[in-house]
Amino acid sequence: GGGYCGYDNIGFLPSCFERALTDSGSSRFKGENGSEYQTKFSWGYFSSNYSLNPILSNWNKVYLSYCDGTLFQGYREEPIEFNGSQLYFRGYNNTITTLKFLKENLGLFDAKEVIVNGASSGGQAVLFWMNYFRKFLPKRVKLKGISDGGLFLDIINQNGNCHLFRKHMLSIANYTNSMDLSVFEDCEFKNNNEEFYRCMVSEYVIKNIKSEMFIINSQNDSEKNHIQ
């Protein structure tokens, strides 16, 4: 989770620049080997406390961070220069490389079950990454997804009087070459510049997921409150 570039309505690149100065935009703020995040995310579904999390407390857990504010799908060879800084969009590369590392070094393919979980924008990303995970993992691995607060709808936003998430997804796609990614190869709108947002907005994506999903849509997510 953690939002994405442009959702704060200050523009895509200015927003990415501000994120790059925080732990939402750079791993340099996460501590050695992600130590700060190991502590921060040891709660809820990730908690190792049996009394709080009796089902998943003893599971192996991997935290994926896209860093570039584009829902794990940044895919640009060259950075974009903004405000004297180089902004890199390689969240897709980060994700694919992490999965390969888990396969080759940490026994991911030996797992009996895999759960892909995310909250808010991370919950949205879970929805359009599920089919990729299904193809990547061996068929014998049981795969399930948890999208927590990630059901973003394609409706008019009262504050901006526009289809907010449609606008955001098209901005991300245009800046990060999303239309070229294998994660969207099953989307019927992958080659349509105007309709590509349907490959990323939750209400359309969820119809084509081939794995079991558990959907939680929190009334406390600030972005949901904006569209009610």
Whether the CB-CB separation of 227 and 163 falls below 8 Å is answered with no
Nearest partner of 156 among 86, 226, 85, judged by Cα: 226
DSSP 103-163: HHHS-GGG-SEEEEEEETHHHHHHHHHHHHHHHHS-TTSEEEEEEES-----SEETTTTEE
Please list the pLDDT of the chain residue by residue as tens digits (228 residues). 678 888 777 889 999 999 888 877 777 776 666 555 555 556 677 788 888 889 888 899 888 887 888 988 888 889 999 999 999 998 899 899 999 999 999 999 999 999 999 888 889 999 999 999 999 999 999 999 999 888 888 887 766 677 878 888 888 888 888 888 889 988 999 889 889 999 999 989 998 999 999 998 765 555 554 444
